Structure formats: structure tokens, C-alpha cells
Structure 1
Amino acid sequence: MEYHDALERLEQGGNVLAHDDARAGEARGRFERLFAHFTPEALRESVQATYAEQPF
């Protein structure tokens, strides 16, 4: 939501954080697709590989 849209909603007594369901569902779907490959196992392997390459 853009800044001026948020101000307009506030002035009208609306909820700035309210989104229509279609946009919220679309954003949730994009987020899930983007982070689908970040499983706990994949993250663990990535961290282990990173620390194996970086001796402290």
C-alpha cells in the first residue's frame, strides 16, 4: 500500500493494515513459492557448508 493510500484510509477511519483477500492470497502464494526451497534440511546443509569453508 502506498503512503498516500494509507493516509487516506486513516482519515476515513479505515484500517491501514487491511488488505483485500485476493491481494493477500496472491502475496502469500508468491512468498510460499519463493521460500519453498528453504526446508530445514536445506538450510542446515547450507549453514554446515558455509562454516566448513570459513574456519574460525
Structure 2
Amino acid sequence: VVLTINNDPLLVFGNYHNGKIACFMSDCSPHWGTQQFMSWPFYTALWVNILTHIAR
């Protein structure tokens, strides 16, 4: 578990067979896909870093 909110996991990295996995555990509520979140200055970097980590 890399990141939690209120003791609930939000971002988890793990291994599966010979690869790596990442799981971003949000819900389907509108607050996760808001324009404010998606226009966050580090939004793109977040996903690039997650994908870079699991692609190694």
C-alpha cells in the first residue's frame, strides 16, 4: 500500500508472476473525475510515474 485516505487504500503496487501491477482504488463518484482533479498540475506526472514504475 503506497497511499491511503482515512485508512483506506488508494494506491497499491504489487507483483504478479514476473510483472508488476498498480491499482488505483477510487470509487465511481464524480469527485474522482472532476475537472479540478484532472487539471491538478501533477495529474499527468502521477500516471506517468505509475506506468513507468510498473513497466520496469
Give the structure with the higher percent strand.
Answer: 2
Please say whether Structure 1 and Structure 2 have the same fold, judged by a TM-score greater than 0.5. Answer: no
Taking CA–CA contacts closer than 8 Å with sequence separation of 6 or more, which of the two structures ends up with the larger relative contact order?
2
TM-score, normalised with respect to structure 2: 0.30
Give the structure with the higher percent helix.
Answer: 1
TM-score, normalised with respect to structure 1: 0.30
